[in-house]
């Protein structure tokens, strides 16, 4: 049971095992009480063992579990020792102890991931072992797009559990886009009354002739958001919300037409977009728009305590700005060179606004166009280049290049892959992804906060489709983000596959509808649904 994922920094196997019984106790030392509550609850469900509280660490020795802080370890580092004195997990912070608890669950076997015990008479044993470990990156992220296809609150909570099981710690919550607005803003109720649903949905790629002719929608109330944020925090996951501006905003304009470019289009006739792609309907760069979104962000900051707030900034079509006399006058008034500079000004406004409130702006790498906003961080998605440029300019970067870690891209070239999108990105391809470009100097590379896998849901209409596209590749990604792996060509993929053989059992116990190694199961296919496959290998940079 030592087939651990992500790969730990150091493992020393011993002989023997610690057997957990009805008499075993769990002691959570000062600062680890939350982890103790989580671990006791998870293991009570899966094992049926009571794991009564021990007031002193000595009460847990022998056949119990102890949790405590060790200031000599880094914030997310942990040490797990299983031996004659029971199981002891130490961490540099509660987060480190929590990641050690995730390792303990792996050591107990796949059934430790179930929500109820399937065998009350079985023996639960932890092999004698010492595991010393810590993450390579501080940002180990998953972006989930709930705008194109809405995911219920329970579905989001489930994905937070799946992230925690893989030691991922940043949940990038893509809440708004052309196809739907998913968060309640009390001062602007029409954002959800109008903007949270569309009349129908394209099925497959935007070139597909197929439609699902029924309304699609949903949104999270502010109490839903508070619950999601609190649930994530209990699992040491930070939720970074994204409100997309100034492009990808048709749902907002449909709700409040004055936000659009009213002098070049009848914005009152717009509805929430029912197709995929890049809408030409973007925000008007007016004072009214700025005040409106300041109101949105004011409510957002009350809900999300994260250091970073994501403002999108990608794929902003400039056609309406070029045609609008109002926008052209605005460019002249501000003394700007062109529409790219206007977008930079727009992003810069919110960079200053967020900074004044103790937060940091992060956006997709288009925010580099026209000049990078001071203090902003960059999500580098159009390959590595945006991240390289930003890091060299002293800005922090999260590496998430589309060609490498967009999990909507297909996993195989075979004809049975459902709705094939983009390049073939196999489990091995993801395992050999390297977040830090070799062009960066060590000083520049320090600006790479980490990496993130992105799940865009245009062609993922339900949880089963999201699971299929995300897993098992997210498992390989998690190891890239956590473990100090060798150079891509030198990585032991055969060893990873061996460990995956055990990990599939954990995914099965968690109910994850992953892509099997032999290919999709009959109900995972989507025959006849048009995708957009791209042939050949993706560009390296």
Three-state SS at 380: strand
Tell me the C-alpha distance between 130 and 118, whole Å.
Answer: 28
Does 310 qualify as catalytic in the annotation?
no
Burial annotation 6-22 (CB, 10 A radius, 16+ → b, else e)? bbbeeeeeeeebbebee
Annotated catalytic residue within 53, 315, 428, 434:
315
Annotated catalytic residue within 172, 205, 236, 248:
248
Region for 143 from its dihedrals, namely left if φ exceeds 0, alpha if ψ lies in -120 to 50, beta otherwise: beta
Three-state SS at 136: coil
Does 177 qualify as catalytic in the annotation?
yes
Burial annotation 460-480 (CB, 10 A radius, 16+ → b, else e)? bbebebbbbbbbbbbbbbbbb
**Across 268-324, where does the E strand assignment appear?**
308-312
Tell me the C-alpha distance between 97 and 529, whole Å.
Answer: 46
Backbone phi, psi, residue 223, to 5°: -70, -35
- HSE of 420, CA atoms in CB hemisphere, 13 A: 17
Tell me the C-alpha distance between 178 and 282, whole Å.
Answer: 9
Does 248 qualify as catalytic in the annotation?
yes
- HSE of 8, CA atoms in CB hemisphere, 13 A: 24
Tell me the C-alpha distance between 274 and 180, whole Å.
Answer: 9
Sign of CA dihedral 303, 309, 312, 318: positive
Q: Which helix (H) or strand (E) holds 44?
A: helix 33-47
Annotated catalytic residue within 76, 133, 145, 177:
177
Contact yes or no for 378/363 (Cβ under 8 A): yes
Q: Name the burial class of residue 343, with classes exposed (0-12), middle (13-18) and buried (19+) by CB atoms within 10 angstroms of its CB.
A: buried
Tell me the C-alpha distance between 168 and 99, whole Å.
Answer: 10
Per DSSP, 183 falls in state B
Tell me the C-alpha distance between 379 and 337, whole Å.
Answer: 25
Active-site residues, by number, are 177, 248, 315
């Amino acid at each position: 049971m030592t087939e651990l994922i992500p790969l730990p920094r150091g493992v020393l196997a011993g002989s023997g095992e610690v057997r957990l019984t009805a008499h075993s106790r769990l002691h959570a030392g000062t600062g680890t009480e939350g982890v103790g509550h989580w671990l006791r609850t998870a293991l009570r469900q899966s094992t049926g063992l009571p794991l009564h509280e021990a007031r002193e660490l000595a009460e847990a020795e022998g056949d119990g579990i102890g949790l405590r802080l060790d200031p000599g370890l880094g914030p997310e580092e942990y040490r797990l020792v299983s031996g004659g004195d029971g199981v002891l997990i130490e961490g540099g912070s509660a987060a480190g102890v929590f990641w050690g608890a995730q390792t303990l669950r792996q050591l107990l076997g796949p059934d430790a991931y179930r929500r109820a015990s399937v065998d009350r008479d079985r023996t639960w044993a932890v092999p004698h072992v010492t595991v010393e470990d810590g993450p390579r990156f501080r940002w180990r992220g998953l972006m989930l797009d709930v705008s194109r296809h809405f995911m219920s609150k329970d579905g989001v909570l489930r994905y937070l559990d799946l992230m925690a099981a893989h030691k991922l710690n940043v949940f990038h919550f893509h809440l708004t886009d052309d196809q739907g607005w998913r968060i309640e803003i009390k001062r602007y109720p029409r954002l959800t009354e109008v903007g949270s649903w569309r009349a129908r949905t394209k099925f497959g790629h935007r070139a597909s002739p197929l439609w699902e002719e029924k309304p699609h929608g949903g949104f999270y109330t502010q109490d839903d958001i508070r619950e999601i944020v609190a649930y994530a925090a209990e699992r040491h996951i930070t939720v970074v919300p994204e409100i997309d501006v100034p492009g990808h905003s048709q749902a907002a304009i449909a709700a409040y037409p004055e936000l659009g470019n009213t002098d070049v289009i009848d914005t009152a006739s717009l509805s929430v977009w029912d197709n995929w792609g890049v809408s030409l309907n973007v925000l008007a760069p007016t004072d009214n728009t700025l005040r409106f979104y300041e109101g949105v962000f004011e409510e957002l900051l009350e809900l999300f305590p994260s250091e970073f707030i994501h403002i999108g900034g990608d794929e902003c079509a400039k056609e309406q700005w070029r045609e609008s006399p109002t926008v052209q006058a605005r460019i002249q008034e501000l003394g700007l060179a062109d529409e790219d500079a206007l977008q930079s000004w727009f992003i810069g406004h919110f960079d200053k606004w967020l900074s004044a409130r103790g937060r940091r702006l992060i956006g997709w790498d288009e925010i580099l166009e026209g000049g990078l906003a001071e203090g902003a961080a960059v999500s580098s998605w159009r390959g590595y280049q945006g991240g390289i440029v930003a890091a060299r300019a002293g800005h922090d970067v999260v590496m998430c290049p589309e060609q490498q870690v967009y999990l909507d891209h297909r996993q195989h070239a075979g004809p049975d892959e459902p709705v094939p999108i983009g390049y073939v990105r196999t489990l091995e391809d993801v395992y050999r992804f390297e977040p830090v470009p070799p062009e960066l100097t060590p000083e520049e590379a320090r600006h790479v906060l980490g990496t993130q896998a992105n799940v865009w849901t245009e062609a993922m209409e339900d949880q089963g489709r999201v699971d299929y596209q995300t897993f098992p590749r997210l498992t390989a990604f998690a190891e890239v983000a956590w473990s100090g792996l060798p150079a891509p060509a030198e990585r032991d993929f055969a060893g990873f596959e061996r460990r995956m053989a055990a990990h599939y059992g954990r995914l099965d116990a968690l109910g994850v509808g992953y892509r099997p190694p032999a290919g999709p199961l009959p109900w995972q296919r989507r025959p006849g649904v048009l995708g957009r496959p791209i042939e050949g290998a993706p560009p390296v940079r």
